[in-house]
Amino acid sequence: MKKRSRVAATSPAKPRGAVLVTGTSSGIGKAIVEELAEAGFTIFATVRNEADLSAVETLHARVHGILLDVTDRESVAKAAQTVEGSATPLEGVVNNAGIAIGGPLEYLPLDELRRQLEVNVIGSLAVTQAFLPQLRAAHGRVIFIGSVAGRIAVPFIGPYSASKFALRAVADALRIELGPTGVHVSLIEPGSVRTPIWRKGRETRATLEERLGTEGAAHYGDALRAVMRQTEQEERIGMPPQRVARAVLRALTSRRPRAHYMLGAPARIGAILSLLPASLHDRFMRASMRLKR
């Protein structure tokens, strides 16, 4: 018997439409760009500076870098015009750009909370609004990258959790509103992921400690150190960002995309925890993050 030919497995992917992906300089965004480009999509990969622009365009021949600040209205409009001028129809938008701000809420500058929500929530919706006319024409897809932190409030990363809770509400409402138009909306909800987002947060530790002062450190110092250790561990043992990228590909190509893609045991545990009484939820969170009662 002849062996089955493996040409199909190694031949270039059939060209597909275009997808815009935000926040692609590293981590999950970079993995999404690579996964979708290999699958045949033309990728418009957004970054915030020129250095990252050059780097992202080396990932694949089908990748085109775009400078974009999701919090800048003119920047978003310019990006939409650039994509609209392309010969390839836009079939998807992946809202991945985000930041993570932590620290005890008692000492959080409110401008930091505003910045967290501006990037993760308002910025994602601003991008979606700008590209919806193109997506509607192609019956395309909108993908939001959420988190298990959008299911359960995590202590000392309250701003980040708040943004992901809000993003889940935006995704759910938008999915229902756009249903009659043929534009599908999906939310990817991973648990722990090996990504530099928390490393960037830890680099501001000195600033955080200065903000707390002696009194704040007495109240929260031990707990904050425990949370820092937890995030360091999650960065080591979390799922690879490629797993998130594969879920994005499924959401873009499935005939019947899901509303939510929950990835990993922590995400499923988070969904269960959200249904528990507050006393049990709090006890579990303290134990898992090694916080004193």
- Name the strands in the sheet holding 90-95, side by side, starting at the edge strand that comes first in the sequence: 63-67, 42-47, 18-21, 90-95, 141-145, 184-190, 260-263
> How do residues 50-98 score in pLDDT, each as one tens digit?
989 989 999 999 999 999 999 999 999 999 999 999 989 999 999 999 9
Burial class (CB in 10 A: 0-12, 13-18, 19+), 110: exposed
> Is 159 contained in some domain?
yes
pTM of the model: 0.89
Say if 40 falls within a structural domain. yes
Could you list the pLDDT tens digit for every one of the 293 residues in the chain?
444 433 344 456 777 899 999 999 999 999 999 999 999 999 999 999 998 998 999 999 999 999 999 999 999 999 999 999 998 999 999 999 999 998 899 999 999 999 999 999 999 999 999 999 999 999 999 999 999 999 988 888 999 999 999 999 999 999 999 999 999 999 999 988 887 766 665 556 667 777 888 888 888 888 888 777 777 777 777 889 999 999 999 999 999 999 999 998 888 888 888 888 888 888 877 777 666 66
- Residue 3 resides in a domain: no
| Domain membership flag for residue 9 | no
| CATH at residue 133 | 3.40.50.720
Give the pairing of strands 260-263 and 18-21.
Answer: unpaired
Alpha-carbon distance 254 to 248, whole Å? 10
Is residue 211, in this structure, part of any structural domain at all?
Answer: yes
Is residue 126 a contact partner of residue 70, using CB atoms and an 8 Å limit? yes
pLDDT digits (tens, 9 = 90+) for 143-166: 999 999 999 888 889 999 999 999
The reply to whether 107 belongs to the active site is no
Which of 107, 160, 220, 261 is catalytic? The answer is 160
In a domain, 212, yes or no: yes
Q: Is residue 251 part of a domain?
A: yes
- Residue 88 belongs to what domain range? 14-288
Whether 259 maps to a domain, the answer reads yes
**Counted domains in the chain:** 1
